[in-house]
Structure 1
Amino acid sequence: MSEDAGPGGQIVLAATPIGNLADASQRLRDLLATADIVAAEDTRRARHLAQGLGVRITGKVVSHHEHNERESTTELLAAARDGAVVAVVTDAGMPLVSDPGYRLVSTAAAEGVDVTCAPGPSAVTTALALSGLPTDRFAFEGFLPRKEGERARLLGELARDARTLVFFESPRRLEASLASLRDAFGADRPACVARELTKLHEEVVRDGLGNLVQWAGSKEIKGEIVIVTGGATAAPDTDTAGQVADVEVLVASGTRLKEAVNIVAGARRVPKRELYEAVLASRQ
């Protein structure tokens, strides 16, 4: 804790359930019950959440949303400096992830006000885990631009991104956004639409983007939506002569043949056995 903050003063970013109330952590329950201030994206929803969890909020409940974030940030930081514990909650999921809070945290960090996190549910990582797509490298892109031109430009930039991509979308724009993704990434790009995660009517649909466009247009879609798409895959390297030449350069510099094959095969993403056989054939 910084010297500027009062005793015990702290801002706590608290994740809330994205659907199922049973996902609420004990830490969230304790914060709602004991925090001096609960800064909520929607104060009515915060009170409803507390009621659903059987928790009585004893502190002051204040609004902290995108329209008052500048003024609210000043007030919340002042309260933390004076020793207050400020719990920041959004309507669902992790604060700052397509939700208010960035200005508060960045300013707190710059001014030395203590900030910590009570982690929990996130629609981003939940959809990613359920998608069946690679999870080792991914990027969250939030909501796609509403304007068609801006959306097309963004997706054109992302079309060659090898990472798995995660987007939020509204039900009424789902079909159009999937069509834009199909046009930019190709109809066969694997993707997943996750709807109403952790809720009673949870649905996870996995298919190519072309088929998902047809699926979205064939029914009425409701609820919270997350789209996950597979990343771009590199075109196979068919330059066998170039691969063999790279191996021979390494061998000429003193590298053993098998090691040279392993190095080149890894760099060019080709099977080691096939490259080894190609080198032997070129020497005959």
Structure 2
Amino acid sequence: MIQPAVVSASFRSALQAAREAAGSQNYPQGTLYVVATPIGNLADVTLRALHVLELADTIACEDTRHTQGMLRAFGVERRAGASLLAVHQHNEAEAAQAVIQRLADGERVAYVSDAGTPGVSDPGARLADAVRAAGHRVLPLPGASSITCLLSAAGLVGGASGAFVFEGFLPTKSGERASAVDRLRTEKRAVVLLEAPHRIEALATALAVLGSRGLTLGRELTKQFEEIVTLPAQDLPGWLAADGQRTRGEFALVLHALPTDAEDAGQGEAVLSLLMDELPLKTAVRLAAQISGAGRNELYQRALAIRKAQGDADEDDVGDA
């Protein structure tokens, strides 16, 4: 992270550039400006974001203290009467009404989350929906996002034509998380996940059942200790355990798309998942292999991994398939 004292001084020219580059554009009153802010490196802010943050009558934000620090780092000078308004996940519905009233009074209101693009796993979606429903304009200012940041570095090729789905945070309860991962096993497209440091090891254990499927992890993206690594899903727990620093920070992950030649295996796993709910493990594996054409040994190992992740592996099932 760039130190605020340094950034504040060096942003003087950036603020002037923002005024010159964006100042001639139209910024209607009575509008909510959804402003993306840096996810780590403060220099990733856009010129238009800087200009709108200077121009806004009110800055609605996820955390007023965090936003005050960010504005101070940018060297943004607030006009007399301008204010900060807390709008976070616990008060978003009620606070939206205060924003709507300010918009009705002709104010320009900017909304920022603590980092990245609001409304994507961060507060902001309910606010934008309420403002639009009340008849006011919502104007987005694009910028930093951990999702697109990691996707651009993951080097995803092939698979489902580069398509991806955004899952965000998986359930925190182990059983629900295991079920979510089981569902993702047959997802052909790349899958984007987010996770907090205190849950990353549990997520890694859950994802390990996906075996050799590719996974790209981004830790502390754009910050000083940024790490990006691509490895098989089954190797992620070991990678984290190899260095205590690796469980610190915020995480974004991309589960790679299923290779084209993995379609039979994916279908086999889908059938296996259904059969395991009704039949003994070995019987489910045998029938899944016959129905799908997938390899019997591979399905058997997958079945054991699923049972282990769910915490109900039966020692009597262990043996040759």
Q: TM-score range by the shorter chain?
A: 0.7 to 0.9
> What is the deviation of 1:21?
0.9
> What is the deviation of 1:234?
4.8
Give the equivalent residue in structure 1 for 2:48.
27
Write out per-residue CA displacement over residues 132-181 of structure 1, whole angstroms, 9 at most, x where no aligned residue. 22482111111111101111122222211111111111122212201211
- Looking at structure 1, the residues matched to 222 and 198 of structure 2 have their Cα atoms a distance apart, in angstroms, of 21
Give the equivalent residue in structure 1 for 2:126.
103
Write out per-residue CA displacement over residues 165-199 of structure 1, whole angstroms, 9 at most, x where no aligned residue. 1111112221220121121xx21000011011111
RMSD over equivalenced CA pairs, Å: 1.7
SS in 1 for 2:103: helix
Instruction: Report whether the alignment pairs 1:175 with 2:201.
Output: yes
Letter of the structure 2 residue corresponding to residue 29 of structure 1: L
- Looking at structure 2, the residues matched to 171 and 52 of structure 1 have their Cα atoms a distance apart, in angstroms, of 26
- Looking at structure 1, the residues matched to 221 and 232 of structure 2 have their Cα atoms a distance apart, in angstroms, of 20
Letter of the structure 1 residue corresponding to residue 65 of structure 2: R
> What is the deviation of 1:74?
0.7
CA contact (8 A) 1:18 1:198 kept: yes
> What is the deviation of 1:235?
4.7
- Looking at structure 2, the residues matched to 91 and 51 of structure 1 have their Cα atoms a distance apart, in angstroms, of 14
Letter of the structure 2 residue corresponding to residue 101 of structure 1: G
Instruction: Report whether the alignment pairs 1:70 with 2:96.
Output: no
> What is the deviation of 1:33?
1.2
Letter of the structure 1 residue corresponding to residue 33 of structure 2: V
- Looking at structure 2, the residues matched to 191 and 73 of structure 1 have their Cα atoms a distance apart, in angstroms, of 38
Give the equivalent residue in structure 2 for 1:213.
237
SS in 1 for 2:187: coil
Q: Which has the higher helix share?
A: 2
SS in 1 for 2:123: coil
Q: 1:237 to 1:86 in 2, by over 3 A?
A: closer
> What is the deviation of 1:105?
1.2
Out of 128, 146, 151, the residue aligned to residue 128 of structure 1 is: 151
- Looking at structure 2, the residues matched to 88 and 8 of structure 1 have their Cα atoms a distance apart, in angstroms, of 14
Instruction: Report whether the alignment pairs 1:83 with 2:110.
Output: no
Give the equivalent residue in structure 2 for 1:137.
163
CA contact (8 A) 1:96 1:102 kept: yes
Q: 1:187 to 1:236 in 2, by over 3 A?
A: closer
Write out per-residue CA displacement over residues 226-256 of structure 1, whole angstroms, 9 at most, x where no aligned residue. 1111123455689xxxxxxxxxxxxxxxxxx
Out of 133, 138, 142, the residue aligned to residue 119 of structure 1 is: 142
Give the equivalent residue in structure 2 for 1:199.
223
Q: 1:64 to 1:30 in 2, by over 3 A?
A: same
For structure 1, which segment, 103-112 or 195-204, has the greater mean C-alpha deviation from structure 2 after superposition?
A: 103-112
CA contact (8 A) 1:182 1:189 kept: no
- Looking at structure 2, the residues matched to 103 and 218 of structure 1 have their Cα atoms a distance apart, in angstroms, of 41
> What is the deviation of 1:110?
2.3
- Looking at structure 2, the residues matched to 140 and 189 of structure 1 have their Cα atoms a distance apart, in angstroms, of 17
Letter of the structure 2 residue corresponding to residue 218 of structure 1: A
Stretches of structure 2 that go unaligned for 5 or more consecutive residues are 1-27, 265-321
List structure 1 runs of 4+ shifted beyond 6 angstroms. none
CA contact (8 A) 2:208 2:236 kept: no
TM-score norm. by structure 1 comes to 0.77
SS in 2 for 1:52: helix
CA contact (8 A) 2:61 2:84 kept: yes
| Residues 140-155 of structure 1 aligned to structure 2 (within 5 Å) | 140-155=166-181
